[in-house]
Amino acid sequence: MGVDSSTIDAGPLAASGPEIAIAMLSATQIASLHDALSRAWHLHGSPADSLAADPWYEQVARQHRANFELWHIEDEARAPQIADADLAGVKRRIDRTNQLRNDLVEQLDVALLGWLANRNLPDPAAPLNSETAGLIIDRLSILSLKIYHTREEAERTDAPTGHAERNRSRLEILQEQRTDLAGCLDQLWRQTLAGERRFKLYRQLKMYNDPSLNPSIYGKTGSETLP
């Protein structure tokens, strides 16, 4: 795919309604939106909502935003200068943002499966795909962030000798991986529409943020949970 975020034209993403956008689900358009948003947020720090005016792509954008925020919060946790006392707050932000990320993946699948259900799809007799479309979109989102930051490293002027070459090599690998993954999403969607394959909603059912399920929150210590 080799999408270059500096040359994105997001016009087509805002030109169609959600029904058309879902019907014509395109991994290339999704990756293009991811790249455009990654670049806009890094350069301007704004949501750049105008790049995703279509309701379906706005859902894709919100999910990507969660990954964007998670990436940078996790960077904070790894910074060598961060005080130990501040790490707890960063960890809580990571948990909250990761919960949001997973919730938004589920919402993508709910939207897609709702659209399919109105057309008596997926075919319940078709082979089940182990990964949902929403989970693939999440992986494409993460790859977009990796590509952005790897390109940034490849273009650093103050980097040591060999740094740019190493990151250009990494960039080629990441772009190939995204091309492969995008092809998998497009194939899954085509086969689902043809009744040849299906995916279903997989609830993440995260336990760590639920005060009724996490013993560290509702009061039990580790020793009290042992037999």
- The pLDDT tens digits along the chain (227 residues) read 333 333 333 333 444 466 778 888 999 999 999 999 999 888 877 555 555 568 899 999 999 999 999 999 998 888 888 888 888 889 999 999 999 999 999 999 999 999 999 999 999 999 999 999 999 999 999 999 999 999 999 988 898 899 989 999 999 999 999 999 999 999 999 999 999 999 999 887 666 666 676 776 677 654 444 44
In the three-class reduction of DSSP (H, G, I as helix; E, B as strand; rest coil), residue 80 is classed as: coil
CB atoms within 10 A of CB 171: 18
Among residues 99, 147, 128, the alpha carbon closest in space to that of 197 is found at: 128
User: Apex CA 165: angle with CA 164 and CA 166, to 5°?
Assistant: 90
Partner residues linked to 128 by β-bridges:
198
pTM: 0.82
Give the model's pLDDT for residue 13: 42
CA dihedral 16, 6, 33, 102 (to 10 degrees): -170
Give the model's pLDDT for residue 10: 37
